[in-house]
Structure 1
Amino acid sequence: MKDDILHNWQKKSTEHQKQYKQFLNRADKNKVLKQLPALHEAAFEKINCLDCAACCKNYSPRFKTPDIKRISKHLKMRESEFIETYLRIDEDGDYVLQVKPCPFLGAGNLCSIYEVRPSDCERFPYTDEDVILKRQQLTLKNATFCPIVYYVLEKLSS
């Protein structure tokens, strides 16, 4: 990739997990939240999600009721049919995809339901919102497969 910080990022992300956890635990919330918009934008300028799509290939978003209603309508399916065809309930009681990669991931890593995608997909990787601090376990996991989360954590914690 174009930036030295991104060279070998997956290996470095794994090695830096403890450092990230310590940073997130002691971070000044207001200071971090002020930095996020610029770091989020900088990360997206350097990293093209369509080059990666690791999130779509390896993980499932939660499908909340509004997501299910919107997507099933878009696909011209009954909600029950959509749920039966694509979803299962996970250990947290959330609807998630039955299979990986995401069945809506198409050629060139494009999403076939992009305009009606789940809110989790729309918000991912959460690098411009307080989720990065509030859900530390999720942030740490996301840093292991998403170069954008890695980039933002590296810039914040350095």
Structure 2
Amino acid sequence: MDYKLLENWQRKSQESQKKYKNFLKKADARKVIRELPTLHNEAFSKIDCLDCAACCKNYSPRFKTPDIKRISKHLRMKESQFIDSYLNLDTDGDYVVKSSPCPFLGSDNACSIYDARPSDCARFPYTDEDVIVHRQAITLKNSTFCPAVYYVLEKLTEKFK
């Protein structure tokens, strides 16, 4: 039955944005947060990120100073060379990749710097964190391109009717 839930998930997610927004606005954050580890694990037992990689194909994480230091070292590059080669400053003053898809995304949807990837990538899609209730705009946006976020929101709205 849960696999059925993921059929046409993008269309269903778009149609459910108002439902999700209302749910997140009214939800008891503590109760929701308690459910997240289980729902996160359940979602990823059904979803393989390597089948999708929409996050890496269309969006950029923030590259914070520790990320830049770690990835530069991993690539055996000077930090300034890494920044010049791969990053730009966005309007918020955060470093992001210069192009989409992410230059570290392989044709097999695997990340070539996975072990050193930015913390935003390691934490994405935040389905096991309080981000899902405390940063609602991000959660709503993520639900439109990440099947795991859609799955978790569907399960939460079902559970807390």
Q: TM-score, normalised by structure 2?
A: 0.96
Which runs of 5 or more structure 1 residues have no equivalent in the other structure?
none
Please report how far the alpha carbon of residue 112 of structure 1 lies from its aligned counterpart in structure 2 after TM superposition. Answer: 0.4
Counterparts of 1:27-46 in structure 2 under 5 Å? 27-46=27-46
Is residue 64 from structure 1 mapped to residue 64 from structure 2 by the alignment?
Answer: yes
Aligned to 2:6: 6
Task: Report the Cα distance in structure 2 between the residues aligned to 1:43 and 1:19, rounded to whole angstroms.
Answer: 20
Task: Report the Cα distance in structure 2 between the residues aligned to 1:135 and 1:157, rounded to whole angstroms.
Answer: 17
Give the letter for the 1:8 counterpart.
Answer: N
Please report how far the alpha carbon of residue 108 of structure 1 lies from its aligned counterpart in structure 2 after TM superposition. Answer: 1.3
Per-residue CA deviations over 1:30-68 (Å, capped at 9, x if unaligned) read 100110000000000000000000000000000000000
RMSD: 1.2
Please report how far the alpha carbon of residue 91 of structure 1 lies from its aligned counterpart in structure 2 after TM superposition. Answer: 1.4
Aligned to 1:142: 142
Aligned to 2:24: 24
Give the letter for the 1:43 counterpart.
Answer: A
Please report how far the alpha carbon of residue 131 of structure 1 lies from its aligned counterpart in structure 2 after TM superposition. Answer: 0.5
Which runs of 5 or more structure 2 residues have no equivalent in the other structure?
none
Give the letter for the 2:79 counterpart.
Answer: E
Counterparts of 1:1-158 in structure 2 under 5 Å? 3-158=3-158
Matched residue of 2:88: which SS?
Answer: strand
Give the letter for the 2:143 counterpart.
Answer: A
**Matched residues, number:** 158
Matched residue of 1:91: which SS?
Answer: coil
Per-residue CA deviations over 1:90-123 (Å, capped at 9, x if unaligned) read 1111100000000001131111000000000000
Matched residue of 2:149: which SS?
Answer: helix
Give the letter for the 2:135 counterpart.
Answer: R
Identity %: 69
Q: TM-score, normalised by structure 1?
A: 0.98
Give the letter for the 1:63 counterpart.
Answer: F
